[in-house]
Each structure stands twice: as structure tokens, then as C-alpha cells.
Amino acid sequence: MRLRHRKCIPSCSSNPRFVHSTHLDLLIFVKFFNFTSHCSNEFMRLFLKCICFQVDEDDYPWTHNKSNILAWLHKSLTRKSELAQCIATAMVGPRTWIGAIFNRTGPKSSGNNKYVDFNFTTLVQASEARYQRLRDRINVPYDETRVEHQKALVELWNLAYPDVTLKGLISDQWKEMGWQGVNPSTDFRGGGFLSLENLLYFAKTFPNGFRRLLLKQQGKRATWEYPFAVAGINISFMLTEMLELYLVKPRCQQCINFVKILGEDEDAFDVLYCIAFVMMDAQWLAMHASYMEFNEVLQVTRAQLERELALEDIYRIRDLPAFNLLYSWLF
């Protein structure tokens, strides 16, 4: 009886790129690690049979060496991952966007967060105060009847299209910016007023990057592009979930690291938003995505941000490897 795929190499289930590698890739992998110097010919034969899904239940050597083969395979995959990181560092350095993409895994990694016991007393006093202010911001809904909210929306239009006069708060013109209808207030929902503040911060602080994204000036664009404004709202909502801002105290490692960063930079969340937007667009282009794939692109972006925020040597938001991508858009 043939062994099923999942029985052969269960340790590879989290690495589909390896499972679906071609035989040529396998031979290169085997030769590179030179594992023939560490394994007997019989061990090598059984390993290759396992990879090619040709192992029989009655194969006596396989039965007695299965645990050793699987243990070696797991160790080899770990080495391959470490090698990728080393090559990326050697090519472009650990603080670059390309280096980060080289080690990118799938979007499901965002579900593997490990919770950490956290106490604000271990941080500077500013961290807790700024964290609470940020949490207060996410609880403010967009209210089209409030004058300050109306003014903020008009300001966003003027920053986006300084040479075009807005006809009104309800107008077909808003669709040009990427709102779904004639009244932007119906699009905020989960993003709240915070998402509008994020867009305003992006437009004021990084105007070149803002306009490149708004006008889709970077790279080869899809026929069905993502709507700019609605994408911005989704990014705001994604960040609030990723950083667990709905909790009184953060639990995951990247969330705790972010609170520490917040103690050093009060604008950390707004800058992170700008980074996430630029990163999302870069992923969009790299994946040759179209409108229906936006959520997938957003999840890949989230997974990359989680990895970078979990790095041990990140003390400021500008220490994130992806900040280099945003910085490159300043000129």
C-alpha cells in the first residue's frame, strides 16, 4: 500500500514551496548541502523515495529509519531557511525590502502568534499613555454631521487634487479617489475617523509617495486596480487588528515591540500605516494581482509586517526593513 503525501513528510506541511519543488530543485538542494557525506547510501535511497512518494508500507528499511529520515528532513529545511536569510543579508543587507521579500512566507503565518506576558511597568511612562491615546482614536467613528470630520475630508481632497475644486461632500468626484460611491462617509465603517487621519498623515508627511499610490504611477498596473481610498481604510483596520489595539494590554511579541516603539515615536502608528500602504502596493505589483485578490495581498503584507516588528533590534519605526521602501518614495 502506498503511503499518502501527508504520511511521507508531515514536517513539510507548513512549507508548500518545498513539497511542490521540481526534481531538479531537489537535486540542487541535495547537492548543495552535500548530505551524502553524512548519510549512508541506503539512507539516501529511502529519503529520495520518500520525496517522490514511492515508499511502500512493507519497505523494511523505511519502517526502521522513518524517524531518522524525517528528523533529518526537518533539520535540512531549517538550514535551507537559514541559508536564504544569509544570502539575502549578503546580497542586500538585513535592513532592506528585497532582503525581507527573499524570506517571505505565506499569509497564514499571521495566525502563529505566541502570546507573551506583558506589563507596562517595564516600559517608559510615555509608552502606556501613547498606547491608550491610540486605543482611544480607534474608537472614534466617522461622523458626517461633525464639522471637524467634514473639514478633514475636504482637506484630504485638496491634498490629493490641489487643482480641482470639490463640488460637495456628496459628489461623483469622490469615486476618482477610490471611494465606492458619491458619499465617502458610507465607506469608513470599521476604519472610523482614524483611517481618515491616516490618509491625511500620509498625504502631508510623504506627499510624493501618497500621489504615486493615488495615481498608480509605480510599475505595471492591473486592468482592475484596487480603489485607493477604500484600500487605505482596509489597511487602517488591518493594523488595528494586527497590533491588537482592541486589548487593554498587548499579548503578541510584535504588539509588545510596537508599544515600545511608540514610547520613542508618538507618530509610530501613522508612519507604520504609510509603510504598510507602500508595502501593500509593492506586493500587489509583485504578485500581479487584480481587484479580487486584494485581501490576499493584504494578508501577505500583514505577515511581512508581523515578522519585521518581531525582530529583536527594532527600537524605532524607522528601524523596520520596509521603511527603506517608503524612504525611497520620498524623492
38 and 112 part of one domain = no
In a domain, 62, yes or no: yes
In Å, what is the CA distance from 262 to each residue of 96, 125, 231, 234?
A: 22, 11, 24, 22
Predicted pLDDT of residue 57? 44
Q: How far apart are CA 175 and CA 270, in angstroms?
A: 24
Percentage helix, strand, coil for the chain under 3-state DSSP, each rounded to 5: 65, 0, 35
Predicted pLDDT of residue 28? 35
Predicted pLDDT of residue 65? 55
In a domain, 99, yes or no: no
Question: Residue 208 phi/psi, 5° resolution?
Answer: -65, -45
In a domain, 102, yes or no: no
78 and 136 part of one domain = no
Residue 44 · residue 62 · CB < 8 Å = no
Domain that holds residue 233: 107-328
Predicted pLDDT of residue 197? 98
In Å, what is the CA distance from 2 to each residue of 52, 57, 309?
A: 11, 7, 44
Burial class (CB in 10 A: 0-12, 13-18, 19+), 268: buried
Q: Which of 38, 59, 92 is the last residue of a domain?
A: 92
Total count of domains within the chain: 2
Predicted pLDDT of residue 165? 95
111 and 255 part of one domain = yes
Predicted pLDDT of residue 242? 95
Residue 144 · residue 169 · CB < 8 Å = yes
In a domain, 100, yes or no: no
Predicted pLDDT of residue 127? 80
266 and 148 part of one domain = yes
CB-CB neighbours of 294 under 10 Å? 19
In a domain, 97, yes or no: no
Per-residue confidence of the chain (331 residues) as pLDDT tens digits?
443 333 332 333 334 333 333 333 333 333 334 444 444 444 444 444 444 444 444 444 545 555 555 555 455 444 434 443 433 333 333 333 333 333 333 333 444 455 544 454 555 567 888 999 999 999 999 999 999 999 999 999 999 999 999 999 999 999 999 999 999 999 987 789 999 999 999 999 999 999 999 999 878 887 889 999 999 999 999 999 999 998 888 888 888 899 999 988 899 999 999 999 999 999 999 999 988 999 999 999 999 999 999 998 888 999 999 999 888 876 5
292 and 179 part of one domain = yes
51 DSSP β-pair partners: none
Q: Which of 64, 92, 120 is the last residue of a domain?
A: 92
Does the reported pTM lie above 0.75?
no
| Set of cell numbers at residue 248 | 487593554
269 and 134 part of one domain = yes
Q: How far apart are CA 179 and CA 234, in angstroms?
A: 12
83 and 119 part of one domain = no
145 and 277 part of one domain = yes
Residue 92 · residue 99 · CB < 8 Å = yes
72 and 113 part of one domain = no
Alpha-carbon Rg for the chain, nearest whole angstrom, is: 24
271 and 313 part of one domain = yes
Terminal-residue alpha carbon distance, the chain: 63
| Set of cell numbers at residue 128 | 502606556
13 and 157 part of one domain = no
Burial class (CB in 10 A: 0-12, 13-18, 19+), 231: buried
Q: Which of 92, 123, 140 is the last residue of a domain?
A: 92
Amino acid identity of residue 319, one-letter, is D
In a domain, 163, yes or no: yes
Predicted pLDDT of residue 13? 35
88 and 114 part of one domain = no
3-state secondary structure of 29: helix
Predicted pLDDT of residue 253? 87
